[in-house]
Amino acid sequence: MSRLRKRVAVLISGRGSNLQALIDAAVGEGFPAEIALVVSDRPDAQGLQRAERAGVASRVLVPKELGGRAAFEQALEQALREADIDLICLAGFMRILGADFVGRWQGRLINIHPSLLPAFPGLDTHQRALEAGVKLHGCSVHFVDSGVDRGPIIGQAAVPVLPDDEPDSLAARVLTAEHSLYPRCLELICLSKIQLLEGGVKSTSSAPAESAILANPDRL
């Protein structure tokens, strides 16, 4: 990853609001990444329209149509190679990637998840946070390893759980935080201010806000 602006692929399955946040950040002056490719595993993903509006190349790769996960990952790898991709962001990509794929992209494959990991991996995170009675909830950006919603944490943003919250109101508050956190984490990785080293995530920045692992993105 030696070029100045990293070429990023964003993998989506649906709405694509985090994709939009990354697209919007990347058009900003001096942002160290460009969104070069969007890949969706669903032809009806709303995020595909966002890619088109932004003039970002997109591919639809449907595992079932391709003959299963192995064929999907092969096609994905080829699309990433053709687009000369440096780094992959999973943004609401609701599919588990195989260990071989994850291993090849280790340190260059990141995900956003709507909880303060390791709490609440998987689905229905907001409902489960309310049921658990937590007072703080949030989102995490992490390097992907072979587990589900697991891997070294890059950044987290916490939001309060309010007394009248329903899953939807809590989800909306978390989503706003996601839209700040994800571009900031991507930026720090592309600037090599955060790296995946043996033993976890390391910040190479001396700026306190940038070296914070638990971060409120509004203050980054």
What DSSP string runs through 102-115? HHHTTTSEEEEESS
Closest to ligand GAR by CB, 6 vs 113, is 113
Closest to ligand GAR by CB, 16 vs 155, is 16
Residues in contact with ligand GAR by the rule CB under 6 A: 12, 14-18, 47, 91-92, 112-114, 149, 175, 178
Residue pair 112/144 in contact (Cβ under 8 Å)? The answer is: no
Which position's Cβ is nearest ligand GAR? 92
- Provide, rounded to whole angstroms, the least separation between the CB of residue 47 and ligand GAR: 6
- Provide, rounded to whole angstroms, the least separation between the CB of residue 80 and ligand GAR: 20
Burial class (CB in 10 A: 0-12, 13-18, 19+), 81: exposed
3-state helix, strand, coil in the chain (%, to 5): 35, 25, 40
Instruction: Measure the CA–CA gap between 117 and 132, rounded to whole angstroms.
Output: 14
- Provide, rounded to whole angstroms, the least separation between the CB of residue 95 and ligand GAR: 10
Closest to ligand GAR by CB, 12 vs 87, is 12
- Provide, rounded to whole angstroms, the least separation between the CB of residue 210 and ligand GAR: 22
Query: Which segments within 13-152 are labelled E, that is strand?
Result: 33-40, 58-60, 87-90, 109-113, 136-143
Instruction: Measure the CA–CA gap between 85 and 93, rounded to whole angstroms.
Output: 17
Strand partners, 38: 10, 58
Closest to ligand GAR by CB, 99 vs 207, is 99
The reply to whether 142 belongs to the active site is: no
The set of catalytic residues is 113
